[in-house]
Amino acid sequence: MGNIVSRILEKITRKAPEEHKLSVHQEHELLLRLERAGITPQDAQRVIESKGNVVASEMLYVLRNGVYHPTKSQKAAKEIMGNNFFGIEDAIEHLNLRPDKNQIAELDDVPFSEVTLKECKDTHVLVAVFPMSLLQMFENKNLRPFFGLDDTEKAPWFKQERFSWEEGKVGWYLIRKQAPENSLNKEWVDQLHMFGQLSDSVSVRIAAYAALGHILKTGTVMFEESMARCAELDHSGRRVTIGPFKEDGLRVQAWWDDSRAYFVGAASVCKPE
């Protein structure tokens, strides 16, 4: 048993810088702690044989960042929103993200009142968003199959666009699942006026994050029928749009601000309170 756990210690510390390597005393004490905690030869072998050292990396992630426990604010929001809630645990499970403890702490309080959440529980999705660019989403093995492209053998058109590289910040977003009916068949300037005091336009990064996370968790789609204008412009001055989300996946496209179409609306998000 001791030999197996020693191999675990070797695997964990093999690529560490010299100043981060464990002393002989630390290795011995860690070995004893693992054995006292009940580690079995099967557990040890799983760590040793894990491809890409994934299991050992997961152990270190938990050690450094702790085990996530939802706050009172998060529990209350999840209770209200039901399936229209994509929280920290969902991001870890479905997007394979590993947020650090500082990022998790930034999400302790959901910045929306109980009244707002109840009003939006059927029309919006409440999403815990972590830094992740549109390109990173496209390269994520869980998300890649849900992008709709005309030619799956070529790189997406947005790869060369500045907006697709931006990772953004941690935050809670209450995003509408579909472009509202009163935003359709309008120019962008008129769609801006409809946002009012309580809502705003949303980044395509956040809209895609929400839509892709939502389908992974629930199997249901956002932006199903229409294209929805987002906050960014592409290099030619066209407004970036998200949707529709059809059988071939979620489309990210672009549309001129001064054009109207019955299938082009606006993507919106509630302002924090």
Residue 2, phi then psi, degrees to nearest 5:
-60, -40
Q: What is the pLDDT of residues 219-267, one digit of tens each?
A: 999 999 899 999 999 999 999 999 999 999 999 999 999 999 999 999 9
Spatial distance between the Cα atoms of 210 and 222, rounded to a whole number of angstroms = 8
Do residues 197 and 223 make contact, with C-beta atoms less than 8 angstroms apart?
no
Backbone φ/ψ region at 100: left (φ over 0), alpha (ψ -120 to 50), beta? beta
Q: What is the pLDDT of residues 160-212, one digit of tens each?
A: 999 999 999 999 999 999 999 999 999 999 999 988 878 999 999 999 999 99
User: Kindly report the CA angle at 235 between 231 and 238, in degrees rounded to 5?
Assistant: 50
User: Can you give the pTM of this predicted structure?
Assistant: 0.83
CA proximity to 240, closest of 251, 225, 229, 227: 229
Neighbouring residues of 11: CB distance < 8 A, sequence distance ≥ 6: 47, 48, 53, 56
